[in-house]
A and B are shown apart, each in its own frame.
Chain A
Amino acid sequence: DVKVTQSSRYLVKRTGEKVFLECVQDMDHENMFWYRQDPGLGLRLIYFSYDVKMKEKGDIPEGYSVSREKKERFSLILESASTNQTSMYLCASSSADNSPLHFGNGTRLTVT
């Protein structure tokens, strides 16, 4: 069974801090994704990656960056956290075009 692991379940950071959210998948998937989930807004795509060192902007990339140095790991970086980035962050992976996404448990980030 595919396992997508997000390193933290809950995270509290202060405004202006640099924040790293880590995600690891164990199924050798090519594609990895970062979404944020907000009530009433659903899931919105921040960034995705279809290969090591490759990245593509999603619908809401502003204020975020990503890193994919190894196939199994995809990091989301908030360069300078702001209160409007308080949200649930979901990582996902998939094996190839048109294959379903597998999600992690999520990281609930609070920026104070």
Chain B
Amino acid sequence: AQRVTQPEKLLSVFKGAPVELKCNYSYSGSPELFWYVQYSRQRLQLLLRHISRESIKGFTADLNKGETSFHLKKPFAQEEDSAMYYCALMVNSGYALNFGKGTSLLVTP
């Protein structure tokens, strides 16, 4: 069953504009959430996780348990942010990640 929903397949913004990639989850336990990014021709890599509460490459994500959301935000998008972004939820007692279908972000000049 799909536990992570990313409603947008493609998001296109202009350079310098704010960007928000949406992620909603369904999980009865205490969620452990991540954002992964895949740049063109590169391996999938961790961008950030909610428990570390840090900002990576200007991106932040806040866990909202009331709305069951973990949206990824950046105030000013850069062209190098163009990539595929996946939201993921840790399930199965901390072993595996359940991924959303991904959002392709395109930042145009």
B residues 91-106 touching A (CB-CB < 8 Å): 92-102
Query: What is the size, in residues, of chain B's interface with A at 8 Å between Cβ atoms?
Result: 22
- For residue B44, CB closer than 8 A to chain A, the reply is yes
Q: 1/0 contact trace for A26-44 toward B, CB 8 Å?
A: 0000010101000011111
A95 to B67, CA, bound (A): 31
Residues from chain B with a CB closer than 8 A to the CB of A58 are 96
Question: Do residues A42 and B93 form an inter-chain contact, with CB atoms below 8 A?
Answer: no
**Contacts between the two chains (Cβ within 8 Å), count:** 52
Determine if A84 is an interface residue (Cβ-Cβ < 8 Å).
no
Is A79 an interface residue when CB atoms closer than 8 A count as contact?
A: no
Question: Which residues of A, 53-102, contact B by the 8 Å Cβ criterion?
Answer: 56, 58-59, 90, 92, 94, 96-98, 100-102
Q: Does B9 contact A (CB under 8 A)?
A: yes
B56 within 8 A of A: no
Q: Complex: how many Å from CA A22 to CA B100?
A: 25
Tell me, yes or no, whether B49 is within 8 Å of chain A by CB.
yes
- Name the B residues within 8 Å of A59 (CB-CB): 98
The 10 A-B pairs with the shortest beta carbon distances in the complex, nearest first, are A97-B94, A42-B101, A43-B99, A103-B44, A100-B46, A98-B94, A42-B102, A42-B99, A105-B43, A103-B43
Chain B residues in the interface with A (C-beta under 8 A): 6, 9, 32, 34, 43-46, 49, 86, 90, 92-102
16 additional A-B residue pairs with CB within 8 Å, beyond A43-B97, A102-B46: A42-B86, A42-B100, A43-B86, A44-B99, A45-B97, A45-B98, A48-B95, A48-B96, A56-B92, A92-B44, A94-B95, A97-B94, A100-B34, A100-B46, A101-B46, A106-B43
